[in-house]
Amino acid sequence: MSLFHSLLRGLKDVKNIFYPRTCLNCNELLQAQEYGICHRCASQLVFTHYDFDSQNPVFDRLSAVVPIHKASSLFLYDKGGVIKHLIHQLKYNNQAFVGKLLAQYARNYYNKNSFVNAFDYIIPVPLHPKKQKERGYNQLVEFGKNLGNYYSIPYTEKILLRSVYTGSQTKKSAQERRENVAHAFTVHKAEIYAGKRFLLVDDVLTTGATIEACVETLMGHIPDVQVSVLTMAVVL
């Protein structure tokens, strides 16, 4: 081992002493080969087993309202489960790298052919600038960017924009959520995206109101557009 690599290893060991790597779910120390969460907590994640290219409950829920191309969610959202805690850390505790972790799970879980040459752009459900300033980041960026890197699909936040500050959807009914976001989005330079295929990403699919509003906005502004949806988790 070279002197340079020995120094790097020594610095890493010192860093782990003062800033130990711990599991985001159970707070136990992580082993060298573990990233983000420990193997025990990772084993408790519940995959949906929804094929991205086939009809499934997520596709059925969304396609009943908007004409999406295909849709899936990676995990089942259990209110007491690991995925809830990870997404909470992602959204509210400045742990943006959780998005990268979940993108790695998606890469390993879905058939590569579901993505390669299937989309022209990956876009996130956007935050209003005021909300993004409050949070400091859009929690979907690392998820979308890493998916884009894995499959060589451009990721951009400059197409679908949130033009109305709507506040939290958490305590609203399904109907209140739909009314709250009905006119919250717009498309920038819509004319140059005619006929493009978008993969819209979000964190948790609950009522679907926000995603439906995004899809309706894209389809209402861009001719011959095709929209598919992927969320980190779904509430059934």
Instruction: Give residue-wise pLDDT tens across range 203-219.
Output: 999 999 999 999 999 99
Q: Cβ distance 46 to 83 under 8 Å? A: yes
What end-to-end distance do the CA atoms of the chain give, in Å?
A: 52
Q: What is the pLDDT of residue 13?
A: 47
Per-residue pLDDT at 15 exceeds 60: no
- Find the mean pLDDT for residues 229-236: 97
Rounded-to-integer distance, Cα 90 and Cα 80, Å = 16
Which of 1-5, 20-24, 107-111, 158-162 is predicted least confidently?
1-5
**Tokens standing for residue 61:** 């829920």
Q: How confident is the model at residue 80 (pLDDT cuts 50, 70, 90)?
A: confident
Q: What is the pLDDT of residue 17?
A: 42
- Find the mean pLDDT for residues 164-193: 79
Rounded-to-integer distance, Cα 103 and Cα 98, Å = 9
Helices 97-109, 141-151: inter-axial angle, 10-degree rounding: 40
Q: Cβ distance 156 to 121 under 8 Å? A: yes
pTM of the model: 0.88
**Tokens standing for residue 47:** 């995959």
Contacts of 198 (CB under 8 A, 6+ apart): 119, 120, 121, 122, 123, 159, 218, 225, 226, 227, 228
**168: how many CB neighbours lie within 10 A of its CB?**
8
Q: What is the pLDDT of residue 158?
A: 96
Contacts of 80 (CB under 8 A, 6+ apart): none
Contacts of 167 (CB under 8 A, 6+ apart): 180
- Among all chains, which residue has been given the structure tokens 């493009």? 196
